Every structure is written in C-alpha cells, then in structure tokens.
Structure 1
C-alpha cells in the first residue's frame, strides 16, 4: 500500500492576473507523490515544470487549489518554513553553497539547518571524518577538498556539494531542478549516478526535472510528462521500464 506524502489538488497558477495578458501556467494540476517515489519530470519549455517546483517550494503563491504534506494543508506555509521538510537543488552550481566557506564548513552549516543559526568552528574537527566519508560517495575528489573554499571547486564538485547539503538532514521532499544541466556530459552522468545511489540508499522521496530523455527513462520508479500546465502522462513500474525514447518523443517534439 502506497502512502501519499505530497498532494497537489487542482492547483492553478496564473501570471499577469486579471489583465488581458493573463496566462495560466498550472491549469488545475493534480499530483499525488507517494513516500519513496523518485519521479522524473519531462516537459517542453513553458510546460510549467519550474512553476510546479516553485509552487511546491512555497516561493510562488498558487491562485487556486491546495498543497498538502502528509494530509496537512501547507498551501499558505512560507518558503522559509517549508525548508524544514523540503530541499531543492538548482541548475546553477553557484546556488546553494557559500563560496567563501570551505566544503566542510558548508556541510556543517547544512547539518545545523533548522537549529541555531550561529555557526561556530567548534565541532568542525570532530565532523571531518564523517564529512570525508560522505563526500567520498560522490566519486569526484570532493573528499580531498574539505578545506577548500567552495568558490574554488569545479562546477561538478560544487553541484555535488549542493546535493549533499540538500540531503544531509534527509528531507521529506527533495526537488532536483535540472541539477546536472549546467555540467559537461561526463560530469553530469557521474553526478546522476551518485544522485541515484544516495536517493535509493536513503530511500528519499524525490522529484527531478530533466531535459535528458535517457535520464528520465533510466532513473526513478515513475515518470510524468507536463504539458500546458497539466500532467498528461504518468507511468510507473513495468510500464515505465517498457518505455522507449521514441514513445516519449510521440508526446512532444521540442525536448532536447
């Protein structure tokens, strides 16, 4: 029996509200996310993918509908309050990390998220062995750069750090917003493999926007297609495993 963790009921988001230029971005969208789901999300430009994440994350108010977490209405909960149970990794590797702080200091900050905001060096040394073990799971040399300012990392290392920071305190919901799109193909695949390992090991509930059809097919237990602000295709299990790129192309033509 699947347990719903996140529900969006008839969610509507408009831009230019009450003007002749009003456009509906999310059009009475319904989505139920079950505990442990790893959902890959495809859709052409303008389909509403980022708007969906902004609505879930609380940095965009919805015009109609309701968003619930474990049957609790969070529709009007602030973005800041949602960070207690939700983490997001963006496309830009520069977002999500503090550039002048070292890798270890960034991880300590993530570990103390939701606690006292005052960061002190005290306790950092005791954490180093654990941080070395954690960063070694990324398989990109990040574990050898714990004392390096984050701004001096490669894009791939910095994005891997953002991902680790987002998952360190095991969020109820993890949003991956094309988090490999800014990386070269080899680095992208390396981070994607490490991402998949951590999601499966920690049994995280994750939604991931991607433009890569092969990643959408390869990863996750469920795949949805967003078109014109609605979910037009939702497939999981054996049906997802039987999917082909050709089948996905039949849904829309302008995905890269």
Structure 2
C-alpha cells in the first residue's frame, strides 16, 4: 500500500483499558489515550513502571482489546482483529531473548520461518539451502558472529545473539510497524549498544516505522525522530524533530521526579 507521510499509519483514538471493571477497584491502565503514528516515525516511549507502556503495545499488537475507543490502520478499524491477524502488518521484539524464537530450530530455520510471517501457511518444500547466502549476509549486519552460527540450535546461542536473531526475524519481512519492547534491557551494556546501533541502522535503511519502549534516557535521546512520555495511562509529552534534538537528560528526568 502506498502511504502518505502526512496521513497516520496507525491511530489510537480515546483508547482506555480497564481492570476490575464495575468494582470499587476499577482502574484504567490506558486512560482516554490518543496517538497518531505516521509512516517513517521512530518513536521512543518513556514512562515509569505502571504508566501503561506495555499495555499500549499490547493494544496495538492485539494481545489486549481496548475497552473503550478505537484502533485504526490506514483509517480503518482493526479493534477486533486478533494478534495473529495483525502479523500481516506488525512485528514485535520482546525484552526476554527467549521469546520470539524456536529454541530447537537452527538460526537459519528460524529466519526461514520468519520470512513467511503473516502469510497463508501451506505445505511446501522449505528450500532452506537456497536462502543460506541471504541469511548469512543478514546475520553479518549484527556484528556478533551470528552469521557463523546459522546451523546452531537457537537455544544454544548467547543472550545477545538470540536477541539479535529475534530482531532480524521481526524486520525480515519489512513490517509496516515494528514494536520494540525494551529489546536491549536484558543485555550487558556493550551488547546492548551493539544491538541498538544495528537496530537504528536497519530502521533507517528499510525506512521502518517503529515504537521502542526504553528505560535508558540516553537511548531515548539519541535514537528516533520522536519521543513520547506516558504518565498514568496518558501521553503527557510528545516531541519530534529539532525540538527532540534539543532535549537533555535532565529535562527528561523531571518527568519521573514526582513519581
């Protein structure tokens, strides 16, 4: 589909999610939240624990239904679509390196599986060998020796290599929307930095639209063209472009001082 950069790719309109509904303990995790995501946006998402960041991703990804409001893709409601249906346009990388990969399958087999994300499944010969050169080149972009472990069972990889594989699987089919759910949080600082740089390079080269949850203020400042802050289920700060470039760590820290 041809997209207009001035027209939202995805919209959340007055979205609320409610737990313990109709009881004295009723709580809105997302509270009348509105968000427009435009093609090419790379949005870093900040917020304290319990602010609603993961719930936001779950509503976008279809893991959780919005109790109120609507979710629109190219102007059409997808509120009632399942998580599986949304894989046609969306991919997600989680914080835990063990999620998103099949541990008993090799690196190459996982990449082949990801190549068919969102497609109708049918019985065909997998033709793995003819993909190996492409998979090797793809894995080499991660700069962590993953290209030399294509025949290794994924469960035998290091945490950093397995998370790199999860990222490659997510972006292999160039999804319209990529969700990165603290995908470097479980890694050591050096491995985290390597993955973040590879992430940024791939998003730029493939012109992907991406939301990335992070607790690292430095990453929120360095990466992306846009930054949003969630507080009590609402977006309380939304900045992009040159205004984002002028932000400092101290300014961002003020959003957390009274929490």
Q: For residue 20 of structure 2, what is the aligned residue in structure 1?
A: 16
Q: How big is the alpha-carbon RMSD for the aligned residues of Structure 1 and Structure 2?
A: 1.4
In the TM superposition, 1:137-148 aligns within 5 A as 137-148=141-152
8 Å Cα contact 2:30/2:233 also seen in 1: yes
Aligned to 2:238: 234
**Contiguous gaps of at least 5 residues in structure 2:** none
Unpaired stretches in structure 1, ≥5 consecutive residues: none
Deviations 1:43-95 (A, max 9, x none): 00000000000000111111100100111110111111011111110000000
Describe the SS at the equivalent of 1:7: strand
Quick one: distance in 2 between partners of 1:137 and 1:84? 25
1:172-212 CA-partner distances (Å, limit 9, x unpaired): 11000000000001100100000000000000000000000
1:44, 1:254 within 8 Å by CA — same for their partners in 2? no
Are the counterparts in 2 of residues 109 and 119 from structure 1 also a CA contact under 8 Å?
Answer: no
State yes or no: 1:73 paired with 2:77. Answer: yes
Q: Please, which of 212, 215, 218 is the counterpart of residue 211 of structure 1?
A: 215
Q: Using the alignment, how far apart are the partners of 2:195 and 2:246 within structure 1?
A: 25
CA distance 1:119–1:97, change in 2 (3 Å): farther
User: Residue 204 of structure 2 is aligned with which of 197, 200, 203?
Assistant: 200
Q: Does 1:164 align with 2:159?
A: no
> Which residue of 2 is the match for residue 33 of structure 1?
37
**Would you say the 8 A contact 2:85–2:118 is kept in 1?**
no
Q: Does 1:86 align with 2:113?
A: no
CA distance in 2, matches of 1:194, 1:240: 22
Query: Would you say 1:98 and 2:131 are equivalent positions?
Result: no
TM-score, normalised on structure 2? 0.96
Q: CA deviation at 1:118?
A: 5.5
Question: Within 1, Cα distance between the matches of 2:117 and 2:236?
Answer: 37
**TM value normalised by structure 1:** 0.97
Give the secondary-structure state (helix, strand or coil) at the position aligned to 1:56: helix
**Equivalents in 1 of 2:125, 2:102: separation in Å?**
15
1:63 corresponds to 2:106:
no
Distance (whole Å) between structure 1 residues aligned to residue 205 and residue 7 of structure 2: 19
The C-alpha deviation readout for 1:154-185, integer Å capped at 9, x for no partner, is 00000000000011111111000000000001
Q: Secondary structure at the match of 1:46?
A: coil
Separation in 2 of the partners of 1:204 and 1:84? 15
Answer yes or no: is 1:248 the counterpart of 2:258: no
- Tell which deviates more after alignment, 43-52 or 109-118: 109-118
Cα shift at 1:114: 2.9
